[in-house]
Amino acid sequence: MTATARILDEAEIRRSVTRIAHEILEHNKGARDLVLVGIANRGDDLARRLAAEIERIEGATLPVGVLDITFYRDDIGMRAEAPEVHETRIGFDINGKTVILVDDVLYTGRTIRAALDALVDFGRPTAIQLAVLVDRGHRELPIRADYVGKNVPTRRDEDVRVALKETDGEDAVVVEEPAAKRDVPGGER
């Protein structure tokens, strides 16, 4: 038996995205000079959903970019193989813009640290704000999210998995118990 708990279903994810879109517009007093950058993978899916929501609410079309943080990771050389690289595409100028950085899960904060380093190589934004679907705690760096879909208290040995239609064919957020991991042959993933 794998012990998994469903934290968010399709409707709840949709409501979270809608609420975050409203919060972004409220906090920034509109959509002016906003750009969205999603962290690959799945952060970019969420960034596109947020852009669609903001367009629906405000009628403004925001540019959406995708950022791969692999080259900025702090654990290169600590794994057996070089981490797999994904696409980065930021086809617009971020100088003077407010960048909404989007990711699926906020955990240790190391991914966000890497993303901040990567972003400033593209220019000097006026501000960077962070939106995440799930905050599962256990920060290892002084980083917090500005917009959170759901706070989920977890243990370190649990796994939070986000599935999105664009990448996985369905919308769901689940927490997996460590027992589920032990069922996997070899215990690695």
Partner 1 sequence: MNKHLLSIHDVTAEDIVRILDTAESFREVGTRVIKKVPALRGRTVVNLFYENSTRTRISFELAAKRLSADVINFTTSGTSVSKGESLKDTALTLQAMGADAIVIRHSSSGAPFTLTKWVKGSVLNAGDGTHEHPTQALLDLYTMRDRLGRLEGLRVAIVGDVLHSRVARSLSFALVKMGADVTLVGPPTLIPPDAPAWGVDVSYDIEGVLPKLDVCYMLRVQRERQRQQYFPSVREYARLFGLTRDRVGMLPEGTTIMHPGPMNRGVEIDSDVADLPQAVMEEQVTNGIAIRMALLYLLLGGAREEVGTDE
* DSSP-H helix ranges across 68-145: 110-120
Q: Which one of 3, 5, 85, 184 is in contact with partner 1 (CB under 8 A)?
A: 85
Nearest CA among 150, 173, 132, 151 for reference residue 10:
173
Q: Which one of 22, 86, 139, 161 is in contact with partner 1 (CB under 8 A)?
A: 86
Pairing of strands 4-8, 147-151: unpaired
Do residues 21 and 52 make contact, with C-beta atoms less than 8 angstroms apart?
A: no
CB of 81 to partner 1, least distance (A): 5
Minimum CB distance to partner 1 smaller for 85 or for 127: 85
Do residues 81 and 95 make contact, with C-beta atoms less than 8 angstroms apart?
A: no
Amino acid at site 41 = N
Cα gap 46→41, rounded to integer Å = 10
Minimum CB distance to partner 1 smaller for 16 or for 88: 88
Interaction between residue 89 and partner 1 (CB under 8 A): yes
Minimum CB distance to partner 1 smaller for 38 or for 149: 38
Could you say which residues in the range 43-82 bind partner 1, by CB under 8 A?
68, 70-73, 76-82
Interaction between residue 189 and partner 1 (CB under 8 A): yes
Q: Which residues contact partner 1 (rule: CB under 8 A)?
A: 68, 70-73, 76-83, 85-89, 117-118, 121-123, 188-189
